[in-house]
Structures are given as structure tokens and as C-alpha cells.
A and B are shown apart, each in its own frame.
Chain A
Amino acid sequence: MLIYDIRFLFIYMFFVGNLIFVSKNKHLLVVLLSLEFIVLSIFFFFLVLLMFIDYDMYMLMVFLVFSVCEGSLGLSILVSMIRSHGNDYFQSFSML
């Protein structure tokens, strides 16, 4: 894909991450990995943005802290699901 501007890379990464999130997967872990991929694309975008306007990177660190918290929350829900269902397959959702 021809890139004339660096912004296309972020939008491409973002859309690919969203595409994997909404695709039919066998495991839950793939969905959580796609979330982390979107976070990575936002991290990259944030970095380039802050570099272009010569800001300090404090906001980037705050963003990183919050996305790591959210990723660990996702993993803890995965662990809770494995403890109750036995696996992390999507086919074991039968209640709702």
C-alpha cells in the first residue's frame, strides 16, 4: 500500500486491529491481542503527534499506564473465564 503520509500507517494499523477484533476467532486471547494492537497503533500515533508539536511525552506515559491497566483487566477476565469454563473458546458461551 503506497504511503504518502505517515498518517495512513496509523489508520491502516487501527483498521486492521479493529478488523481482527470483530472477526470470528476461536480463542478469546486473539481478541485481547487485537485490542493491544490497536493500543500500539494509538501509541505510535500519539508519539509522532507529540514529536511534531515539540511537546514533552508525559501525556503518552499517562496513556500507556491506562492502556496497560485495561490490558491487564482483560487478561484477568480471561483467567476468570478459564477458571469457570475450562477454556477460552467462544463456543462455550451458552448462557446469554
Chain B
Amino acid sequence: MFFFILTNNNSNKMFFLFILFFSTLISISSNSWFGCWIGLEINLLSFIPLISNSKNLLSVETSLKYFLTQSLASINFLFMILIKFSLLKNFDMNNIISIMMNSSLLMKMGSAPFHFWFPNIVEGLSWMNNFMLMTWQKISPMILLSYYFNKNFLIFMIIMNLIIGSLGGLNQTSLRKLLAFSSINNLGWMIFSIMISENLWLFYFLIYSMMIFMMISLFFLMNMYFMNQLFINNMNFFIKLNLLINFLSLGGLPPFMGFMPKWIIINFLLINKFYFLTFIFMMTSLIIIYYYIRIIYSSFMFNYFKMKWVNLLMKNNMSLINLSSFISISSMILSTFIFM
């Protein structure tokens, strides 16, 4: 990604990217809630130039929708911070103020029921901007959520996230919207993991962002935005295998990398007797794996005509694809060396 930025004479993108990284650090390491709000504002201010750089109608509309939802959420967040400060409710987390603050943070993340902007905006961005939106922009609202959350409200939001993320992706043909709904579903898992412990959330988030990075870099290199592009051109066998492995890993099937964080969360759920929540987690994961397998089944199993006008220059840099497949398969064992 940085190679792409450096070769296109886009030095202003590097500048805004640096400020984006810095804003998250400001937000999560501040002493007061006001500092958190400042970090969120700088996040918005530096992400908008990153996404509104091209001169077509779609990017203007995308940046406008992003700006409106995010600024409303952060202004509401500040108002609730002031009310919390004036009523001196710093430790009482079972009231309407914590619900309002959590709602504004959930709107910033794109979690249900405030998720309606998220698939629209993801449809309008390029793959690298989508990667930033799906991974980095979730860090600071999540950590702020862990500082002052209302447990019952968040469990209800988690259930909504899981159901909307799984059912919303069933009728999609655009790969970006598919990954957007999958991201909403994984947000449910991540919010629950941050309620357990921040270390577990970090584990889940790192593995999720690594999986998303592998998928998005594959789609970016092949310039694929829609599902029919996956099975119209007859790709190399290793690319199809990598796609299969990455999709199944994202869905959480056992020998792959994506199973490990979900396994730990299910372990926690069952030990602490959250049986209904376990049921919801399992069933929605099943629906998600259904629509992943629907895609890769037709791409992987069938042999299509090789069109002469589609020129996929993937013969030279296959090592990166093989490396990412290897990481996805063997990470279950390797990750125990890092985190355990």
C-alpha cells in the first residue's frame, strides 16, 4: 500500500495518513474525555482528504455522507461528555448518559443500528481506502467504548450487529458491500471481546485486520470490485486457492487463522454460561460462511473460458500470495507462540 502511495506522487496522502495514525494515538491515550473528542475530530479531519481525492461524482457523495454521519456522532459525543461532567456521573455506568455516549461511538464505527451509511460509503471507496475504513477507523471508537460502557445496551447491540451483518450480506453482488456486512458482523464479535478484556480485543483485531488485508490486497491487485469478476476470468490455481483459504479463514473455520480468536470468545461465553448469546454467534457465523462458500464454490470448482482480453499479470509476484496462504493455514500454531 505504501509502495502504491509512493509511486503515484501522492505525498499529501502520506501526510494525511500520518495525521490519521496520530489522531488515534491522541484519542486513546488522553487523560480526559475532551482529549478523546479532539482525537476523534482530527481523525475525521484527516480521513476526508484521503477519500475525496479523485474527481468523480461518487467520491464527493461518499465523502459527504461520511462527513455528515461522523460529525453528528462526534458532536453528540461531546454533548454527552459535558452532561456527564456536569452531573458528575463518572463511575455510574447504568444510565441514559452511557447509552447516549455508546450510541455515538457505535455510530462512528458503523455498527448496527447505525450502520446504514457503512455499505454505501464502502461501495464508493477504492480498496485501500476501504482497508483504512474497516480496520484503522475502528480502533479509537472501540477503545473509547471500553472506558465507559453500558453492559446490557452493548449486548443488545452485539446481537443486532451479528444478525444484520449476516442477513444483510445475503443479497449482495458487490464485493465491497459483502466485506462491509462481514465487517459489521465482526464488529459484533469485537465489541463483545472488548467487554471481556482489551488484550483479547487486540488479539481479535490484529488477526481480523491481517485477514482483511490479505483479502483486500488480493482484490486490489486483481482490480476486482464485483462478484462476477471472480468467476468470469479463469485465474491461476494458486490465486483461487488463496481466495478460498482467505474467505474460509474470515468465516472462522478451524484449520485457518480466523478460527483462533472466535474459539477463545466462544470458550469464554460457554464457561460463563452465556448460552443464548453463543447460539446467536454460531448461527450468524453459519449464514456468513454460507455466502462466502457461495462465492468461492463457483470460482474454485468450475473451469471457465480464458478470455484473451483479460490479462492478469500475476505470474511474477506469486510469492506474496503463497506467503499469505501459508500464514492463514499455519497461524493457529504460530499465534500461540506470540500471545500465550
Contact = CB atoms under 8 A, between A and B. Distances in A.
Given A7-B86, A49-B85, A77-B60, A21 B67 contact: no
A59 interface: yes
Interface in A1-49: 7, 14, 18, 21, 28, 31, 35, 38-39, 41-42, 45-46, 49
B82 A45 contact: yes
A84 B76 contact: no
B124 A18 contact: no
A53 to B, nearest CB: 9
A54 to B, nearest CB: 14
A38 B72 CA distance: 9
Interface stretch (B50-58, B152-160, B298-306): B50-58
Interface string A59-76: 100110011011001100
Nearest to B123: A96
B24 interface: no
Contact of A73 (B45, B55, B56, B86): B45
B64 A96 contact: no
A93 B60 CA distance: 10
Given A70-B41, A73-B48, A95 B71 contact: no
Interface residues of A, number: 31
Chain A residues touching B, majority SS:
helix
B61 A93 contact: yes
Given A31-B68, A84-B55, A96-B58, A77 B75 contact: no
Contacts of B58: 95-96
Chain B residues touching A, majority SS:
helix
A18 B68 CA distance: 12
A38 B79 contact: yes
A25 B61 CA distance: 16
Nearest to B48: A73
Contacts of B121: 96
A94 to B, nearest CB: 9
A23 to B, nearest CB: 13
B45 A69 contact: yes
B120 interface: yes
A81 B56 CA distance: 10
Contact of B75 (A38, A62, A81, A96): A38
B57 A74 contact: no
Nearest to A21: B72
6 contacts: A21-B72, A35-B72, A70-B41, A77-B67, A80-B63, A96-B62
Given A18-B72, A67-B75, 13 more contacts: A18-B76, A42-B75, A42-B82, A49-B86, A66-B38, A66-B42, A73-B44, A74-B67, A77-B60, A77-B67, A95-B57, A96-B61, A96-B120
